[in-house]
Every structure is written in C-alpha cells, then in structure tokens.
Structure 1
Amino acid sequence: MYVKIANFYLAPSREISRLWKVSSSPVLSHVEQSEEGVVVIRAFGLDTVGRMINENFIRNDVNSRCWFSETVTQQWFQVRMQLIGSGVIFVVVSGLVYLRDYLSPGLVGLAFTYALSVDGGLASLVQCWSWVEIQMVSPERIIEYGSIPAEGSQRPLVIQPDASWPRSSTLQFQDVVFNYKQGGEPVLKGLSFNIHNNEKIGIVGRTGAGKSSLTMALFRINELVSGRILIDGVDIATMPLRTLRSSLSIIPQSPVLFKGTLRAYMDPFDEFTDAEIWSALEKVDMKAQVSALEDATVLTIAHRLGTVLDSDRIMVLSAGRVVEFDSPRELVKDGSGVFYELAKEGGYLDKLL
C-alpha cells in the first residue's frame, strides 16, 4: 500500500514541483530587472510603474498557484501515509485484543511498540524516497541549462585576428542564407553584396523584407545556414564572438537607459586613457554628430525613408534578397522600381529628382 500510494503521488508531484521552479524564475528575474532599471521605470512615468506592478502581480499569481498545488499535493500524500499507518496500528491492536487471553502483557506491549515503530519507519522511508525523487528536478534543470549550446560554439575557431583588425571596414556578404530556427524557413536567401570602405549604406524594404535579420547575421546572433560574411577579408564565423562584436557598434531604434557611467559607455573595454576620452568629448561638442562616423562603414536600417536619402548607396531588400542596390538618385532615375515606389509613397521624389 505504501509503495502504491507513493507511485500514484510521485508523477503529478514531480511535474508540479517542476512547474513551481520554472515559474519562480520569471518572478526573480522581474524583481532583479526592476531593481536595476528603477531609473528607467521612473523616467517613463506612472503608467510604466503601474504596468510593472501589474506584471509583478501576474507572475507572482502564477508562481503562487504552482506553490499552492505543490503544498496541497504534499498534504494529500501525508494524510494518506497517516491513514495507512493508522490502519496498520488498528489491525495490530485488534489482533492483540482478540488474542489477549493467549498473550502476556509484556508481549502485548512489545508488539504494540513495534507496530508504532514500524509504522513510523515505513512512512518516513516512503516520504524520503518521494522527496529525493521530487528534488531531483533541481539537478535536472541544471543539466538542462548546462546542455544548452554556448553561443557561437557551432563552428570551430580558425583564427584570432590581431589587435589592428579591421584595418579597413569593407563588408562582403557571399550567398548568405540565414534563419532563426533550425530547419525553419530562411529569412535571408542567398544574400550577396559588397560594401566598400567607409561607405554609408541605407537599407530599406517593406516589413518582413529581412532588414533586421541582416543585422542579426552580422552580429552572429544566430549562425548562418550557409554562405560567408567577410569584414576586411576575414570570415567572421572563424573568429571569437568577443573579437567580432567589440569591433562593431549598434544604435537601436528605441532609446533605452542603462546602468553605468558615461565613461563606461564610451570605453566599455577600458582601452583608452582619460585624456583620450576627454578629447573625444570635446570633438563631439565642436563638430556635428556625424563627424564621428567619417572613418567608418555605416549601415542604416530605415523605417523612415528620409533618414537614408543622404547615404552613398541604398540597398533595397525584398523577401530576404537584394533587389536594388545603387545611389538614391540612380534608383529613381528610370521612374520605376521598388525604391522609386517607396520614395513616391513617402513623398521624397522631389528631393531626389
């Protein structure tokens, strides 16, 4: 009976314990993120504060449901263990009472004492066994996290570029095929183009054309299905991720506040002196913001066409492929094409013709 009840209890209890531990992670991460981002939350006003509070309530409610279910399950098991133990003692006591004329008082007391001890021992043994099996959910989660492939580990490293890389900011995409999920539909389909040193490139296209995916591939957020991306003639798949990403910069579409000092943002890898950083700040104060980008290749992903009209060339994407790639005026000169239609819809033809 003890074993049957334990087996009946273990299956749902193990799953409930797993759910409770899984639901605890969002609660803890939300508290940590709220604490670290309290400046951002305050900056966006009471609406954001209320939204964060509601989010915290929702996550805690989910976690509390799992915890309550686990508690109820444990109580159910303990009650059954006690009922079985009480049944065993009742049978022993009934037998002793029935055989009282044939047993000495000392033997009756000894049998009763052993019945109590065996009952408690069996109950404790079954509870410990079930507790150990349930707690194995924690090592299971450790193994699960430990088996997640490390970022960038799918391809072997071949080279470690020297400190002067990249000497030029040329960029080449060679038949790049990229997707977000293994075996899924590619979002970049045989993408090929060359960008020269210090060029300013505007990237445009309708929703779902693959503009953001191009950036994901460049930063190796996911590995390529096939093809190569070369910066200064070096395949980025053959170098450490830290080396690659420390040589690239990205300015997101949405402004976000981060925790840290201004110096940490300007020199995240602590490679420059205070004098050099002060010199950079003075230059920013004296010159236009774009002056800092004169010696860099810049890719601008445009959601508003007006932000890329001054680019050296415009890359037009459609369904993960390059359909047009030339200077803005050349693309609208013939009065047809994808970029021409986009400029016409946005009312920018007068600035280009």
Structure 2
Amino acid sequence: MKKLFHFLKKYTPHIFIILLLLFAQAALELALPDYMSRIVNVGIQQGGIDKAYPEVLRKEQGDFLQALFQEEDQIAFSTHYHWVESPDQDLLDRYPALVDQGAYVLQGAPEEEEMAFLSPYLLITVALQSPAGTMGPLEGGPLGMVPEGVAPLDFMLSLPEAERSALVTSLLDTIGVLPEANLTQTGALFAQREYEALGRDLEVLQRNYVLLAGLQMVGIALLAMAVAISVAFVASRVAAYLGRDLRLSLFKKVASFSNEEYGTFSTASLITRSTNDIQQVQMFSVMLLRMVFFAPILGLGGILKALNTNRSMAWVIAVGVMAILTLVVIMFSIAMPKFKSLQKLVDKVNMVLRESLIGLMVIRAFGTETHEEGKFQKANEELTKTNLFVSRLMSVMQPLMMLIMNALAILVVWVGSAQVDLGNMQVGDMMAYIQYTMQIMMSFLMLSMVSIILPRASVSMNRIAEVLDTPLSIKDPEVPVPLPGDRHGEITFHKVSFKYPGAEDYVLKNISFQAKPHETTAFIGSTGSGKSTLVNLLPRFYDATEGEILLNGVNIKDLPLKVLREKISYVPQQGVLFSGTARSNIKYADEHISEEAMEKAAAVSQAMDFILEKEEGFDFAIAQGGSNVSGGQRQR
C-alpha cells in the first residue's frame, strides 16, 4: 500500500482539509448525547433548573443557611449573595412574590466551582425541611437525636451555637462521601422549591429549557450533516483524481514496455489492472478518507466522553471492543485468501473471453463453440463460487456486529441502572453513556467495513504496483549520441545473436550484414526462421543478446528511442488501425503533416483508391481495430 500513499501525497492539502472536517464532525456528533443528557437530567428531572443553587433566596432561607455556615463559608456566601430590599422590575417579572419582601440575590455569574461550598448546606436544609423517613442519605445519623414531635428545622435553630456547629460538622462529614450527582439534584430541588415559593412559572422555565436544548441539538445535527457532506465531496474528488492518476501512470508505463515486458503480463491481465483493480483502489480510497481516518477520532472521543461520564463502567466498553475485534480478526483471516484469488479469477475470465472474441472466426470454422463455452463456464463458475463465499461471509458479519452492539446496550442499561440506584449517575447520563458506547462500537464497525474491502484493495494495489515497478529492459541511453549528417539509411548488423527471455536456444546466431541506402534488402527463410525477430531488433522492440546494430555508423543503443524510431518506417505483419478516421490513422505519427504529404502517403501505400471511393473521403470513419475494412486495406 506504500504506492497508494505515494500517489496520495500530492493531495496532502485536501487530506488535511478532510482531517479538519472529520475532527469537526466527530466533535459535533459527540456533543449530541451530552445535550440529550441535559434534556433528561435538567429539563425533565430538574424542571429546567440547570444550576445546583438558587439565584434568589427568601429571607428566612438565607438566614437559616447563614446559621449553619462555618466561618469561611459565611464569607463566600456574603461575597456571592447580596441582600436586596427593593427588587428591580426584572426580578419582579420573574418572581412576583418579591413585590412585598426583600431577598438575597446572586451577584454576577459565578463558576460552578465557586458555588460548590453551598451544595452540602442545601442538602442539609432540604433534609431538615422533609418529613421523617424522606431525608434521604441524612436519615438517622446525627439527625436521630431530634426529639419526637419536634421539626428538625426548629430543633436546629433552637440549639446553642456550639452544639449546632458540631452537629453541622458531623452532617458535613456524612455528606462528604456522597456522590456529586446527589448534591446536584438536591441543589436543583432546593432552587425549585424557592422559585415556586417566589411565584416563578416553573412550567415555562422547564419548557423553555427543553425547547432551547432541542433547538441546539437540531442545529448541531444539521451542522454535522453539512460537514459530513463536505467530507464526502472532498474525499470523492480526491479518490476520483487518484483513479485518474493511476490510470494515466499505468497507461504510460505499459506504453513504454518492450516486447519483453509485454510477455510478462497478459493483455487480459493488463486490462483488468487498468480497470477493475484501479476501481477497487478508488473505492478503498474513499473509505480510507471517510471512515479509516474518522473511526479512530470518533472512537477515541467516545471513550474519553464515556470515561468522563462514568469511569466505573469502562469495563463494559472493553468487553464490547474485544468482542468486535475478535469477530473482525476471525472474518479477516478466513476472507483474505479468497480475496487474493478473486482478482486472479477475474483475470482468467477476461482472458478466456478475450481469446474467444478474438478467435471467433476460427472457433466457428472448426465448430468448437461447445468446447469454448465449457472453458468459459468453468472459469465463470470458479469466479462465481469465490464471490458467493466472500459475499456470504461478509453478510454474516453485519448481523453479528449488530448483535454485539445491542447486547452491549442491554449490558450498559443493566449496569447503569445499578449506578443510578446508588446515586453515582443520573438517568440522562446513562442514556448518554449508551450513545457513547454505540459511537465507539460504530467506529469499530466502520473499520470492519473497511476490512471487507481492504484485502481486495490491497491485492489490487499490489497488482498495479507490480506493473508500475516493472523495470524497463529497453531505455534511452544516459549519454545519447547524435546521428552523423553525412550518412543516411545505412544499417549494419555485426555478429548479432538473440534469444528470447527465458529461452535456452538462440533464435538468431552470429548474424552480420549491411543494408545500404537506395538498395532493397530482403530476408528469405521458412516459417520460424527468425525473419520477423531480426526486423524487430532494429527499432529496439527487443535488444540483441550479443553483438551490435548500427544505424549510420552509430550503435542504436546509443540513440534516443524517439530519434531511432523516427528514422524507421515499420509495417507489422498484422495490420492495426485505431478508431477514428482514415485521416487520423495516416497522421498517427505526426498530426501536423500537410494535406499533400498525407495524400502522397495514401498514394504510395495504394490506399488512395478505396479511400476516395468513400463519400466522406479521408474523413471516412474507421471502426475499432479497423473491423469495417478488409485485411488488405488495413495493411495499406
């Protein structure tokens, strides 16, 4: 896969933008469970009161709290709450009962940490104002000394200051071991009772909080959707450009192959590598940019959020992650060998199909249609069986993943309900924890989806790299030699021998001759005597194994390939035409030649007659491979 990242390197700015967008998307998606938790905890359970302390205190409540305060807490209370004899209109609008009384009013907007001193005293006050049997964690204990029939609140006020201080200290020690959630909920309950006593409309307060939090969730969800669309857009463009670059690089590489390299790869294999393999890599690139980068961000963020919500349930996440990883490893180990064989089977089907189409006339002439159908059916069935095996294996993976996720959700509810019962977390926190767990599992699910296509993409990329990394046996010289200007068209073979790559016997052995300008040199020999091979050595389709070939006195290996082949006109045994027109095929070597030169070439090759017979003339359309002209017309 190093080759893939090499091609992606030029798109580093785009990938950086994608990473930034993915971080934003993960942050937005991880924020949604927190807002849901607030709606449940604050909006529903706490009546929309989001602070664990009141912003306004009646005189009797403020005086009672001050009677409980220790010295440093008294100073903190005096700093944050000021006595207001005549409340302003804004306070009166929110708390109508203040019209004929003063109150302690919170100053500014202090941080939660600054007001933490007040929470234990609010818990004591709520417990003292509750009937016996409903004092929660303070039931019994130091308050067990309250005489029967005497209100705990009155009892506290009747105690001498020293005894009251000792009792408060004992209560504070008891409160110190309670979960923070207890203090938060009790503080909100105290504030709710105060607001109700002061005439505030609690239904409006609750409705406004839920609506605001809901609108914020909708806004975050819409923003996350916009970011996700942006990621998909940029990732798709990068993958499309990557596919273009791979196809272009592969085509340029194949175009530079000599006959020796062409013998290494079959035509069917090169076509598959240029199309199907690149498509597999392109699909994987989209998933890499959208999922592989996003999954760790979302998973790690979900783990941090879940641990911040409740650390004691971390083992639940660990169990889920281990189950997912075990499933992925098992599936991966079974599917990998099949993915490796899949591309080879595609090659085989393409090869059989190509051979059948090219040799269609021969097949019909010999009446071997049934034999060819059997060959194709066998290759097709092997590919179909492998595809079915992989598809069935992967189809089992998704339901198993969903089973693990749902089982994990049930486990979170079971363990979380015990935590809620103990007061270590609230219902909204448990719901958020389920969401964080699902997001963590979803990140692993994304990676598992990538693991489905990764083996096949890896095989495809290796096959593409195999072509791109193939060393060229015929290259331009490092120090080219110019052709002399005083000699034209002189070809000399000096003790030339040649054998095909991998062969033991020589096709040509110790060949020496000279082809002089303005003379016709012909080679006569039986089939397989090496006539075509000898001619193929001149334009360096192959290089001579031994000896040297000179053009105008210069070794052809010292000439640039472009210069050498510009000096040679080569007509292959099999005529090849490209789709286009007669004009474009004649001008194939140089599209800028004049009309006169084009017509002269057509006349010399004796093609002028059949071209002019066509109504379109030189603009006569040539089908792919020249299939709409005869064999002789193709050669001309």
TM-score category of the 2 structures, normalised to the smaller one: 0.5 to 0.7
Matches within 5 A, 1:102-181: 102-103=421-422, 107=426, 110-111=429-430, 113-115=432-434, 117-125=436-444, 127-128=446-447, 131=450, 133-134=454-455, 135-136=457-458, 139-150=461-472, 152-153=474-475, 156-161=478-483, 167-181=488-502
- Give the aligned partner of residue 511 of structure 2: 192
Question: For residues 20 and 169 of structure 1, do their structure 2 counterparts lie closer, same or farther at Cα, with a shift above 3 Å needed?
Answer: same
Matches within 5 A, 1:125-274: 125=444, 127-128=446-447, 131=450, 133-134=454-455, 135-136=457-458, 139-150=461-472, 152-153=474-475, 156-161=478-483, 167-181=488-502, 184-188=503-507, 190-197=509-516, 198-205=519-526, 207=528, 209-270=529-590, 272-274=593-595
CA separation in 2, counterparts of 1:18 and 1:166?
56
**Secondary structure class of the residue paired with 2:550:** strand
Contact preservation (8 Å) 1:187, 1:213:
no
Cα deviation for residue 283 of structure 1 reads 5.6
CA separation in 2, counterparts of 1:41 and 1:165?
49
Question: For residues 148 and 245 of structure 1, do their structure 2 counterparts lie closer, same or farther at Cα, with a shift above 3 Å needed?
Answer: same
Cα deviation for residue 149 of structure 1 reads 2.5
Question: For residues 224 and 12 of structure 1, do their structure 2 counterparts lie closer, same or farther at Cα, with a shift above 3 Å needed?
Answer: farther
Cα deviation for residue 106 of structure 1 reads 6.2
**Secondary structure class of the residue paired with 2:522:** strand
Query: Can you give the 5+ residue segments of structure 2 that lack an aligned partner in the other structure?
Result: 1-322, 607-636
Normalised by the length of structure 2, the TM-score is: 0.34
Question: For residues 142 and 272 of structure 1, do their structure 2 counterparts lie closer, same or farther at Cα, with a shift above 3 Å needed?
Answer: same
Contact preservation (8 Å) 1:13, 1:73:
yes
Cα deviation for residue 194 of structure 1 reads 0.6
Contact preservation (8 Å) 1:170, 1:195:
yes
CA separation in 2, counterparts of 1:242 and 1:60?
43
Contact preservation (8 Å) 2:497, 2:506:
no
Cα deviation for residue 72 of structure 1 reads 3.3
Contact preservation (8 Å) 2:477, 2:559:
no
Amino acid of the structure 1 residue aligned with 2:568 = L
CA separation in 1, counterparts of 2:575 and 2:597?
26
CA separation in 1, counterparts of 2:334 and 2:504?
37
18-27 vs 140-149, greater mean Cα deviation? 18-27
Cα deviation for residue 167 of structure 1 reads 0.5
One of 368, 377, 398 as aligned partner of 1:78: 398
Cα deviation for residue 66 of structure 1 reads 5.9
Contact preservation (8 Å) 1:190, 1:227:
no
Cα deviation for residue 231 of structure 1 reads 2.6
CA separation in 2, counterparts of 1:27 and 1:70?
18
Cα deviation for residue 114 of structure 1 reads 2.0
**Secondary structure class of the residue paired with 1:204:** coil
Larger strand proportion of the pair? 1
Cα deviation for residue 187 of structure 1 reads 3.6
Cα deviation for residue 210 of structure 1 reads 3.6
CA separation in 2, counterparts of 1:89 and 1:170?
82
Larger helix proportion of the pair? 2
Cα deviation for residue 172 of structure 1 reads 0.8
CA separation in 2, counterparts of 1:125 and 1:165?
73
Residue-pair matches, total:
273
Q: Does 1:9 align with 2:328?
A: no
Amino acid of the structure 1 residue aligned with 2:501 = Y
Cα deviation for residue 136 of structure 1 reads 5.0
Cα deviation for residue 259 of structure 1 reads 2.5
- Give the aligned partner of residue 89 of structure 1: 409
- Aligned-residue sequence identity (percent) comes to 18
CA separation in 1, counterparts of 2:486 and 2:435?
78
Amino acid of the structure 2 residue aligned with 1:147 = D
CA separation in 1, counterparts of 2:326 and 2:562?
55
Normalised by the length of structure 1, the TM-score is: 0.56
**Secondary structure class of the residue paired with 2:564:** helix
10-19 vs 118-127, greater mean Cα deviation? 10-19
Larger radius of gyration: 2
Cα deviation for residue 230 of structure 1 reads 1.9
CA separation in 2, counterparts of 1:9 and 1:57?
29
Question: For residues 58 and 280 of structure 1, do their structure 2 counterparts lie closer, same or farther at Cα, with a shift above 3 Å needed?
Answer: same
